[in-house]
Amino acid sequence: MRGPLGRFGPLVSTVVAIVVTVLLWKLVIAVFDVSPFVLPQPEKVVGGVGDLAGSDGFWSDVRVTLTETLVGFLIALVLGLGLGTLLGRIVWLEQALRPVIVASQVVPKVALIPLFIIWFGFGMTSKIIIVALLSFFPILLNVILGVRSVDAGQRDVMRSLNATRWQTFRRLELPSTLPYILAGMEVGIVFAVVGAVVGEYLGGDQGLGYRVVTSLNNLEAETLFAVILVLTLFGFLLYLAVVALKRFLIPWHDSAIDHTRAST
């Protein structure tokens, strides 16, 4: 179903949301006479992003946070795929390990971050481990689900064709599991950014999260808002990358279909 705005609907709503936010923002400042130390003017924040991008070591901070996020995420992906496939196939093992999995899920992992900093120092290693830990579980659980979800009837089709194990994996199991893997990645990448930033501001000496702490300590509200804006953009771009991967890998799947453009 195509609305009156056609396929520009999402674009229009984004613009409207930004304009409304900025107007409300300015209204709050004007009505309550908010100090610029608490809430700077939106145009100052945009200017702050410009200053930030030109400031010393900004790009190296972006690189640090990006490295931590991506390396940690890749570790989580590899481990999640490996362990998820194993647990998905071996039901008794998954049942035996279920209490452990549930327990490690309900532990507020952010609370463990100081521990990792004590163990692995203030450098990138501790952040990579935090990122990996945070993004590991959504990937693991989705992979287990995906491996289990391979349709029994489709398996029969492959069996009746005397397909080899490899053929069954390549032609059936992998494509059936991909939507689940990508759903896990979609959640995982968001958690990865959270892990990197929280890790940096709890115990870091570089990175965008560290910038949040320093601008807070210096009471630079403008810079603080600018960093938040940059982090939002940062997380958004990574998320978009996963969505793009999804459109590329599973264009046939419902979750990858642009419903505003589908004809049925």
**Which residues contribute to the site for another protein (CB under 8 A)?**
151, 153-154, 156-163, 167, 171-172, 175, 250, 252-254, 264
Q: Which amino acid is at 209?
A: G
To another protein, the closest distance from the beta carbon of 249 in angstroms equals 10
Give whichever of 67 and 154 is closer to another protein, judged by the CB atom.
154
CA distances to 32, 87, 185, 235, 258 from 214, rounded to whole Å, are 27, 43, 31, 21, 42
To another protein, the closest distance from the beta carbon of 101 in angstroms equals 27
- Cα-Cα-Cα-Cα dihedral sign, residues 160, 163, 165, 171: negative
To another protein, the closest distance from the beta carbon of 150 in angstroms equals 11
Give whichever of 134 and 143 is closer to another protein, judged by the CB atom.
143
First to last CA, the chain: 8
Give whichever of 77 and 158 is closer to another protein, judged by the CB atom.
158
To another protein, the closest distance from the beta carbon of 217 in angstroms equals 52
Give the Cβ contact number of residue 41 at 10 Å.
16
Give whichever of 63 and 159 is closer to another protein, judged by the CB atom.
159
Give whichever of 217 and 248 is closer to another protein, judged by the CB atom.
248
Rounded to whole angstroms, how far apart are CA atoms 151 and 17?
42
To another protein, the closest distance from the beta carbon of 148 in angstroms equals 17
